[in-house]
Amino acid sequence: MYKLDVIGLGCPHPCIEVKKEIDAGHLPLQVSVSVGAPRENVTRMAKSSGLNVCEKPGTEEGVYILELTKA
């Protein structure tokens, strides 16, 4: 599984970085992302691209792990 860390990046940069990896064919993709708007926007973008999204809390406070896979 390919891993991408976008923790601390402000919008729209997390979505841009995730989209680059999806377009490069790096699936499944595990994304470490900050809670709030970055998490919500990456999740929404991935689902609108037809991907499954599995969310789980990260080991650090304020971080989520998103696992993106083909539907």
CATH number of the CATH domain containing 24: 3.30.110.40
Per the CB < 8 A criterion, the answer to whether 2 and 21 are in contact is: yes
Model pTM score: 0.93
DSSP H or E segment with residue 2: strand 2-5
Q: What is the pLDDT of residues 18-29, one digit of tens each?
A: 999 999 999 999
Q: What is the pLDDT of residues 39-57, one digit of tens each?
A: 999 999 999 999 999 999 9
The whole domain housing 11 covers: 2-70
The H-assigned helical ranges of 1-71 are 13-23, 37-48
The tally of domains found in the chain comes to 1
* Res 71: pLDDT: 86
